Structure formats: C-alpha cells, structure tokens
Structure 1
Amino acid sequence: MTSTPRSPFRRAALAAAVATAALVLSACGGDAESASSGSASSGSSSSDDRHNAQDVTFAQGMIPHHRQALEMAELAADRASSAEVKDLAARIEKAQDPEIEKMTGWLKAWGEDVPEEGESMGESMPGMDHSGGSGMAGMMGDAEMQQLEKASGAAFDTAFLTMMVEHHEGAVEMARTEQSKGGYQPAKKTAGDIVTGQTAEITEMNELLGKSS
C-alpha cells in the first residue's frame, strides 16, 4: 500500500508545533533552574553566618583579655605552692588558648584587625572606661602584673586567686554583653561557654581564698 505524501501545509504546521513545544519546555526548564539556583543562593546565606559590630568588639576585646589570663596562669607553674591553684591555672590555659585561636579565625574571616601581642583593647578604643587602666573589665595593670611576677608560695596563691577572680568577672561581663547584643551565633555560643565556665571558676577560687584566710 502506497502512503499518501503529506501536504506542504501539514508539514509546516507540524514543524511549527514542534518548535513551539520546544520553546515552552525550554522556558519551563529555565524557570525551574532559576528557582533552584535562587533557592540555593538564599539558603547559603544563613543568619548564623552574619556578624555585627558587637561580635567584632567581643573578639577584639576577648583575645587580649584571654592572653593576659594565660600569662597569669603560666606564672603559677613555677610560683604557686598550692596544687589546687596549679590545677586551676592549667585548666584556664586549656580552655582559653583554643578560644583565642577561634576568635582570631573569625576576625581574619571578617577582614577585621587581630589585636597584636601585648596590645589591649583600651589602646584601640580609649573611650572605654573600666577598672585596671587597660580599657577592659577585669584586666590587670602593669603594677599588678609585676606584683604577681615577684610573688611566690602562699603569697602568690592569694594574689593569683584574687586577681583572677576580678579578671574572670570582667570576662563574664564582656561575654554577657555579647550574648545580648551579638549577632554571630558561634560567637554567642562561645560567650555562653565563657559565662558558664568562668562563673564556676569564680566560685571555686572564692572557696580557695576562704580556705586560705
């Protein structure tokens, strides 16, 4: 049986229909791809990744604050007479050194300045008014650090505990400000860890001071 050839009109109509269908499918695919890429891009910018000025202030202040605590804790190895003070100092070093590294990483990722060794936040923010003359709550002044360096035995233990209580209280104050005003969730979590850990250590140190009095 011989097939009847299609007329030019039918062939043209069929070609037009195929072209139209291809265009529709292409448009639908493009819309879906755009929607997918838009959803992915919006999902990649989580609120947890956003930081504000308070987060920067917290990290730039807590780094030198922690560094001084480490400096004080290192003195305990040679000067403290109490095993409890030496143990506490070792725990302070173990907790705070990794936090310095963490906060340094945040500041570098944000394109912000990392405090230099020996630099306090008071040097970069002289308007801050806290005790100790360093610009931050709880920080020891040069005279107090020299006093601690010269002490040994039971006198060192008492001076260390007294100063570290004040130092921890300052850190807790700074951390609570971050908890209430910060925006970067990892920083707020670290602040919460500081509040919990150092508040417990304040209680411990006050009890040690009570035993020695």
Structure 2
Amino acid sequence: MNMSPTTSSKRAIALAAVPLALALTLAGCGSPDGGDSPPGMNREEVPGSASPTVETGGEFNDADAMFVAMVIPHHEQEVEMSEAILAKDGIDERVLTIAEQIRDAEEPEIERMESLLDQWEIDDDAEGDDDDDDDGGWMSEGDLEALEAADGSAAERLYLEGLIEGHEAAVEMAQTEMDEGINPDALEVAQGIIDVYTAELATLQELVAEI
C-alpha cells in the first residue's frame, strides 16, 4: 500500500533528518487499559510490551533516530484507522476491541516518541512529497477513503488487512533496530513491537479469515 500525504511527509522528515538507508515502515507498542481482548490481543500480557521511559534521551545512532521517527507516522495512521472503525455501526465486537486497544496504546506512544526526537534535537516538522513511493504496510489516501466509506464486514476486512500488513513489516523493521540500534529506549520499543505484533498476528489472521 502507498502512504497517505500526511504519512509521506513524516517519512521524508525522517529520511532528511537521518541519512540512513533503511526502508522502515511500521512500528507500534504500548499497553491499553481494560476491556476483554481477543486471544493474543492483550498487550498487557505480552512480555516486553511495556511503554518506554523517556526521562533522558541517552546515546543514539542513525538507526535509533530513523526508527523512532518512523514510529510516529505509523501510530498516527493506526489511530486514524481505529477511530474510523470505532465510528461505524454494526462492527464485530472483537474488531472494536482491537481498535480501542490500538488507539489507547498508540496515542501516548506518539508523545513518547516525539519526546525522544526533541531530546535528540531531530526536527519532525518539515514538509515532504513522495506520495507515490511504495513502502509496504502503509495505507494510501485511497485506502483510507475506502475504509471511511465501507460498512460492516467490508470495513472490518479493510481494517484488519491493513493491520496485518503493518504488523508483518513492523516486526521486520524492529528486528533491524535490535540489530543496529544502541539507544535503550528505542531498543525497548523495538522489543515490544516484536513481542506484541508477533503475538497479535495469528489472532488478526484468524479473525480476517472469519469476516
């Protein structure tokens, strides 16, 4: 899937701020509060999924900075997708629970990652224009519009398929951060992504097969 305009500008920011040849796409972690979770979807039960501390930025390298910068637009898009699903009638309760968890977990994570970029003095306010790039895992503007317009099982499928693609890309990119990064906070985020998304993928794939 292609990126939306908002997401592509964030990607351009990260590439300009940190000249590292990594094709980072998606990331996510966090621990939402409350609610009954589908099997494999309770992030509080997954080791390594705790929110990172950002009291100090610490030492970091290009891999850390690229990784953290790319967490932000991913979370923003997943929050947007989740809010779109939550606003609809007739959606499977399991899908609604997933959407609530993602929204509640990733909104505070955006603030945490922005805090790290601030401490590292990396600007994420620049503009970019590479909407036609294909970075697997990103929903395009057309994809998001289709999700907004869809109802019932069609909307559920679009949402879940977007999450699956993103989760698969996120695990791969988090593994790159674990191999190349040095910052404890960024590494904690990456480990949480690997643990959380690996646990969630099977549940998402089973659920989309039932829709």
TM-score class, shorter-chain normalisation, is 0.5 to 0.7
User: 3-state SS of the aligned residue for 2:87?
Assistant: helix
1:69-114: per-residue Cα shift (whole Å, max 9, x none)? 1110111112261000000001111222222111110100011112
**1:65 lines up with 2:74 in the alignment:** yes
**1:49 lines up with 2:58 in the alignment:** yes
Bigger shift: 90-99 or 66-75?
Answer: 90-99
Bigger shift: 155-164 or 82-91?
Answer: 155-164
Share of identical aligned residues, percent?
Answer: 33
* Aligned alpha-carbon RMSD (Å): 2.1
How has the CA–CA distance of structure 1 residues 149 and 210 changed in structure 2, closer, same or farther, with 3 Å as cutoff? same
Distance in 2 between residues matched to 1:136 and 1:176, nearest whole Å: 17
Residue in 2 aligned with 1:156? 155
**1:112 lines up with 2:111 in the alignment:** no
| Higher percent of residues as helix | 1
Distance in 1 between residues matched to 2:110 and 2:188, nearest whole Å: 14
TM-score when normalising by structure 1: 0.66
**Structure of greater Rg:** 1
Distance in 2 between residues matched to 1:186 and 1:77, nearest whole Å: 31
TM-score when normalising by structure 2: 0.67
Residue in 2 aligned with 1:103? 113
Q: Retained in 2: the 8 A contact 1:161–1:205?
A: yes
Query: RCO higher in 1 or 2 (8 Å CA, sep ≥ 6)?
Result: 2
Bigger shift: 150-159 or 91-100?
Answer: 91-100
Residue in 1 aligned with 2:40? none
**1:206 lines up with 2:202 in the alignment:** no
Q: How is 1:157-172 mapped onto 2 (pairs within 5 angstroms)? A: 157-172=156-171
* Per-residue deviation, 1:133: 4.3
Q: Retained in 2: the 8 A contact 1:136–1:170?
A: no
Which consecutive unaligned segments of at least 5 residues does structure 1 have?
A: 1-47, 127-131
Distance in 2 between residues matched to 1:145 and 1:134, nearest whole Å: 16
User: 3-state SS of the aligned residue for 1:49?
Assistant: coil
Distance in 2 between residues matched to 1:135 and 1:180, nearest whole Å: 24
Distance in 2 between residues matched to 1:71 and 1:203, nearest whole Å: 23
Q: Retained in 2: the 8 A contact 1:137–1:174?
A: no
Which consecutive unaligned segments of at least 5 residues does structure 2 have?
A: 1-56
Residue in 1 aligned with 2:178? 179
Distance in 2 between residues matched to 1:134 and 1:93, nearest whole Å: 26
1:122-141: per-residue Cα shift (whole Å, max 9, x none)? x48x6xxxxx9456441111
Distance in 2 between residues matched to 1:57 and 1:81, nearest whole Å: 36
Q: How is 1:16-95 mapped onto 2 (pairs within 5 angstroms)? A: 49-79=58-88, 81-95=91-105
How has the CA–CA distance of structure 1 residues 107 and 184 changed in structure 2, closer, same or farther, with 3 Å as cutoff? same
Aligned length: 154
